[in-house]
Structure 1
């Protein structure tokens, strides 16, 4: 049975080891590298096989112990049966002492047989229970190994210290969960308040947006009006510039005419350069005077016709 387990284990792990390297990479390896790789694989398989063998040896020891215990119980039972047979023989020898005594002995024997059967059944039940407990112990042994590993890792000397630490952590976790639940409730409450506030602000924002839309419409209208007035103002400025230029030209011409009439600029009897109206009045007077002179000098129309 041990050899079969070893063969199965070796075959399984050899297949797993062969799967580790892709076929293309094996072809690229040299002979020495392949030999080293195979040796490493064999060493790994031997280690795993040794571990499996040790595990199997432990199981065999456990089975031998159980078998020894069962054999001891069977020996005790056989001894009880032999004693019982001896007891029956003695009772048979004493049967001659009386039918009543024999009947009593027979009744006692029947009771003993019933007790033996009961004990046998109880032994069988206990044996079955023991086997179940043994299987349960074997299944749960990994937990015990894990617990010992945890003790070693956590640097605890006794299991009760570890359990106390675990219980403390569980209590802390429960408190943290309760605190988290309270915080979640507060968060939900604040989230509801925030949602209400956001709804209110959304309504306010909608009103502000409507107001902004109205103000934007008014602004657009105002901008349009400003453009229209700016256009008018530009036209006015353009017209004013032309009028100013024309006025300047008129003033210059008037000043020239005034100077041509020997008019004085500045002085006591003179006229200022910007006083165009006075210059025009003097020019008008000059023209009127010269017109009158010309009219006086000009001969009458009748005399001219006679000549």
Structure 2
């Protein structure tokens, strides 16, 4: 919208806002007259611009009002569509629930029918099992009679089931003892194998440690030889350092003596410290440079003795 407004004003007032070159007749106008003319033109342009702004503002308000009405209608239409969609969804949900309920009832009826058939089959199987157990009971009744006779002869147990439980307990205890004995045998074999393995590892470690000890003894001998060599080198280095220290002391003393002689001869101010050998050498170097320059000047004077006289005459 801002871009359209700018284009609109530019097209409406392009001719009025253009700066034209003054005609030949305007050459005789005073600056004040020209300024008043320009102000009048600016006022006219501003009035026209305000008028156009008001018209554009009215059009904008009208468009905004129409847009608000359209948005209100659109909201009503959306509300109607939402209610209609909700109504359709509710009907579809009811229809799906009814179909699901009918399907569930059919599945439940089929499941009950299958359950009834399964129970009938299971009943037949139980009848067959019952007959088989009755026949087995008839066959095992002799053991029951035998246990009853044993119970009558012993006073330790009061019922047959107590004898059976005691027998089962003894058998379970025997199984546990057998399993424990087997486990102990297996553990013993494992411990024997582990002991042999540890003995072999210990022998191997002893041999390896003996080899390492021999290697370390050789390294120790080599290290001692190297130590003796470095000790001799260190003694040599200390002797060399002592000699260098003595030589450095002599050089510093000679430098200090030379510096003191130069300062006395040249009447220079001795501002260098006694320990500052570098500063003393720098001062000595400067002095020698000056002396060399003076010596060169003297040689030039000896070669050209007329040069000072001519320069003084000039």
- Pairwise same-fold verdict (TM > 0.5): no
TM-score (normalised: structure 1) = 0.34
Higher relative contact order (CA 8 A, sep 6+): 1
Give 1 or 2 for the bigger CA radius of gyration: 1
TM-score (normalised: structure 2) = 0.33
